[in-house]
């Protein structure tokens, strides 16, 4: 019965150990699968990045071509103009024309920059990502070889532990059996060594009893020796089992705590740093593109800030001196040799000229007062009109504010300069003010040269010869 119970316990111990080893083996297989999945995910991510940058390079190339076509279309229209010849000669242009040329140059600059960006994506960033993908696959292969060897060594230790455990169980079981037999023999021999009183027995019975006692004593000694031998074997087997168990536990601990992180590091070798360099190349390209664009826009911004109507007026007069230079004064053309070349105030016209002079002086005083009032109105109207054209309604930065809802972007655009009701009202006010301004301007300038010249002539006529 005890042997049956002992056998049952041995089977339970073996089953528990095999279950534990099975779990470890399942963990090892799962580790291999996880490493493979991790590498597959990395390769897929790198492939997606390559496809992304390849498509982005196509978009950048197409955008660069469209910008170049746009700039070339308008540059072709301006190459034959006088402004372009002047631009090539000394770049002394009207400020709006200068802004126009700088705008076209900025477009061509952006076209070249986007072509460069496309080339960097295709021949730099994508190449880096391809190398990272190849490295990941190669490192996984080598890491799997190391992992397989480590797992194989670990399984050998587990098998060895299983063997020494069974050996220990076997010797310990034999020791228990030998001990049981020894106890049975000792009970049979008895406490007195198996010697019973022989008085009153016949000689034959005494002889038989002595022979039986000697046999039992020999059996006891034999079982005792067997027990001692099995006990020694069990002791050695138990020590070997404990040492192997400690070595196995240390190996398992080392594998999970040290070897596995090292294997993962082997799979990760250079991955993050290489990916960082690839993405930093992308960032450097984008930031350089932005810096180049900012540099060109700053030049254009300086030209926009330099829009100066007074300077452009002088440049216009200098560009067309023949058209805007005052013509020569008209000279007196005597008729038939008339020698008189000045106004003569004869006595018969003296009174008429004096009366006319007085009337003109009175009229001039009245016109001066009227012109002063008109000039004030004209100046105020001009100020109002200028205020309408210098409104700070050009800031559209709010339209590029990223928010969770796109409605805010739409509302910021509609609330700005392009708000149709507001724009129509402002345009109507501006045109009405312009009409009033030119009306006042016309009133202010009407008749002034004629009045001034006539007044000077009449003063000369009224003076005595």
Q: Examine the pLDDT at 361 and tell me if it is beyond 80.
A: yes
Instruction: Find where tokens 């797992």 sit.
Output: 151
Confidence of residue 396 (pLDDT cuts 50, 70, 90): confident
- CA-to-CA separations, 48 to 41, 126, 133, in angstroms, rounded: 10, 11, 11
Three-state SS sequence of 390-422: CCCCCCCHHHHCCCCCCHHHHHHHHCCCCCHHH
State the burial class of residue 289 (Cβ atoms within 10 Å of its Cβ: 0-12, 13-18, 19+). Answer: middle
CB of 317 within 8 A of CB of 431?
no
75 CB contacts (<8 Å, ≥6 apart)?
104
DSSP string, 280-293: HHHHHHHHHHHHHH
Return the axis-axis angle of helices 95-120 and 309-319, rounded to nearest 10°. Answer: 100
How many CA atoms lie within 13 Å of 438's alpha carbon, on the beta-carbon side? 5
Each residue of 294-321: pLDDT tens digit?
999 999 999 999 888 888 888 888 878 8
Alpha-carbon distance 32 to 143, whole Å? Answer: 10
Q: pLDDT digit string (tens) for 230-275?
A: 889 999 999 999 999 999 999 999 999 999 999 999 998 999 999 9
Domains of the chain: 2-195+207-295 (1.20.1270), 343-389+419-465 (no CATH)
Closest by CA to 94, choosing from 384, 277, 308, is 308
CB 213 within 8 A of CB 194: yes
Q: How far is CA 395 from the centre of its chain?
A: 26
Q: Is the dihedral of CA 11, 12, 18, 19 positive or negative?
A: positive
Q: Which of 304, 302, 296 is nearest to 110 (CA)?
A: 296
- The pLDDT tens digits for 72-109 are 999 888 776 655 555 555 567 888 988 999 999 999 99
What pLDDT is recorded for position 408?
52
């Amino acid at each position: 019965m005890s042997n049956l119970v002992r056998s049952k316990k041995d089977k339970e111990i073996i089953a528990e150990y095999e279950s534990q080893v099975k779990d470890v083996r399942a963990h090892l297989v799962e580790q291999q699968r996880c490493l493979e999945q991790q590498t597959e995910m990395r390769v897929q991510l790198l492939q997606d990045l390559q496809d992304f940058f390849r498509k982005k390079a196509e978009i950048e190339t197409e955008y660069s071509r469209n910008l170049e076509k746009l700039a070339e279309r308008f540059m072709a229209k301006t190459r034959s103009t006088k402004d372009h010849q002047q631009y090539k000669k000394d770049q002394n242009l009207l400020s709006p024309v200068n802004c126009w040329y700088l705008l076209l140059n900025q477009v061509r600059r952006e076209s070249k920059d986007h072509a460069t960006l496309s080339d960097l994506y295709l021949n730099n960033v994508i190449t880096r990502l391809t190398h990272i993908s190849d490295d990941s696959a190669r490192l996984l292969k080598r890491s799997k070889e190391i992992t397989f060897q480590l797992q194989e060594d670990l399984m050998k230790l587990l098998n060895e532990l299983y063997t020494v455990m069974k050996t220990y169980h076997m010797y310990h079981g034999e020791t228990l059996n030998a001990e049981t037999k020894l106890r049975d023999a000792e009970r049979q021999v008895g406490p007195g060594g198996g010697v019973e009183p022989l008085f009153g027995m016949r000689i034959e019975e005494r002889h038989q009893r002595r022979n039986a006692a000697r046999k039992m004593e020999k059996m006891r000694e034999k079982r005792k020796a067997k027990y001692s031998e099995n006990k020694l074997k069990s002791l050695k087997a138990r020590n070997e089992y404990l040492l192997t168990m400690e070595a196995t536990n240390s190996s398992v601990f080392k594998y999970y705590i040290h070897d596995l992180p090292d294997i993962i590091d082997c799979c990760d070798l250079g991955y993050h740093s290489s990916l960082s360099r690839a993405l930093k190349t992308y960032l450097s390209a984008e930031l350089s593109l932005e810096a180049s664009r900012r540099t060109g826009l700053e030049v254009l911004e300086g030209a926009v800030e330099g829009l100066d109507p007074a300077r452009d007026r002088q440049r216009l007069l200098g560009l067309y001196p023949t058209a805007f230079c005052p013509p020569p004064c008209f000279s007196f053309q005597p008729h038939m040799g008339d020698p008189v070349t000045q106004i003569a105030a004869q006595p018969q016209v003296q009174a008429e000229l004096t009366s006319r002079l007085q009337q003109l002086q009175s009229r001039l005083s009245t016109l001066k007062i009227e012109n002063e009032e008109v000039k004030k109105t004209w100046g105020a109207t001009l100020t109002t009109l200028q205020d309408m054209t210098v409104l700070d309604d050009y800031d559209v930065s709010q339209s590029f504010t990223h928010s969770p809802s796109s409605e805010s972007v739409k509302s910021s655009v509609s609330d700005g300069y392009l708000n149709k009701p507001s724009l129509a009202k402002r345009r109507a006010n501006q045109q009405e003010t312009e009409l009033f301004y030119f009306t006042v301007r016309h009133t202010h300038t009407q008749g002034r040269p004629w009045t001034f010249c006539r007044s000077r002539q009449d003063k000369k006529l009224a003076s005595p010869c």
